[in-house]
Amino acid sequence: MKGFVVLVLAGVIPVAVFGQGQVQAPVAGPAGTPITRSIEGTVLDAHGSAVPNAVVLLKDTKTLQVRSYLAQNDGKYHFYGLSSDINYELRAQSNGLTSPAKTVSVFDSHRIVTLNLKLKKKLKQ
């Protein structure tokens, strides 16, 4: 097996070049490549207890598309593969109650955003 060389050029992501012309892809994408993020958390009642089977609604504020997730038995929910350059609005509903809407901003640079949703108000009918 032949050795390897690491090429580093100004403004270019380092790429390891192995013998026999094989190139290993960089770990991070090139500048400007969108990075995905996840939003996860727990749906809680007014007393702080987990709410199983609550409906969690995720609204893409750019396209107004709404995705839903049924919380697990421990009240946990998650949305994966979300664009980091879109604002999202979340809220939960269960048994006639709803949580206040919460926004995850494009300015939040966390790859994993943890957001617990507390049911408080009666749903408007």
- Reported as a single tens digit per residue, the pLDDT across 37-51 is 999 999 999 999 999
Segment 6-18, tens digit of pLDDT: 333 344 444 333 3
* pLDDT at site 47: 92
Residue 19 — very low, low, confident or very high, per pLDDT cuts 50/70/90? very low
In CATH terms, the fold of domain 36-122 is Immunoglobulin-like (2.60.40)
Query: Torsions phi, psi of 81, nearest 5?
Result: 70, 30
Given its phi and psi angles, is residue 88 left (phi above 0), alpha (psi -120 to 50 degrees) or beta? beta
Segment 82-97 shows an average pLDDT of: 95
Band of pLDDT at residue 32, cut at 50, 70 and 90: low
Range list for CATH 2.60.40.1120 in the chain: 36-122
Higher pLDDT, 122 or 40: 40
Is the predicted pLDDT of residue 25 greater than 70, yes or no? no
Share of the chain above pLDDT 70, in %: 70
CB atoms within 10 A of CB 86: 16
